Amino acid sequence: MQPQQLYCYTCDSDEHHRPLTENEKVWLRDETGRRKVDEFFMCTAPKCRNVRSGFNKRPFDPVRRVPLPD
Ligand SMILES: [Zn+2]
């Protein structure tokens, strides 16, 4: 899927989101125990990195933010 405008729960506005990288998918699988994480996007607003799915603006409580790469 391509980057797209989606509502970001933590920014409280429509922001650009991109699909997760392979490394980020591994991280999210570890975090959530989910096997399938292809539907998730990351907010690319500065310092946000909040994760949402294409359909659910707030799939996690508390919210999850993609860690910065090392
Ligand atoms: Zn955001």
Of 70 and 34, the structure prediction assigns the larger pLDDT to 34
Assigned domain for 24 exists: yes
CA distances to 33, 41, 62, 66 from 47, rounded to whole Å, are 25, 15, 17, 10
Query: Given the structure tokens 């699988």, which residue do they identify?
Result: 29
Assigned domain for 13 exists: yes
Q: pTM to 2 decimals?
A: 0.90
Assigned domain for 68 exists: no
Assigned domain for 66 exists: no
**Number of folded domains in the chain?**
1
Q: How much distance in Å is there from the Cα of 69 to the middle of ligand 1? A: 18
Residue range(s) defining the domain that contains residue 18: 4-52
Assigned domain for 67 exists: no
Q: How much distance in Å is there from the Cα of 51 to the middle of ligand 1? A: 8
- Which residues lie at CB < 5 A from ion ligand 1? 8, 11, 15, 43, 45, 48, 50
Assigned domain for 65 exists: no
Residue 33 has pLDDT above 70, yes or no: yes
Q: How much distance in Å is there from the Cα of 57 to the middle of ligand 1? A: 10
Assigned domain for 33 exists: yes
Q: What is the pLDDT of residue 3?
A: 67
Average pLDDT, the chain: 94
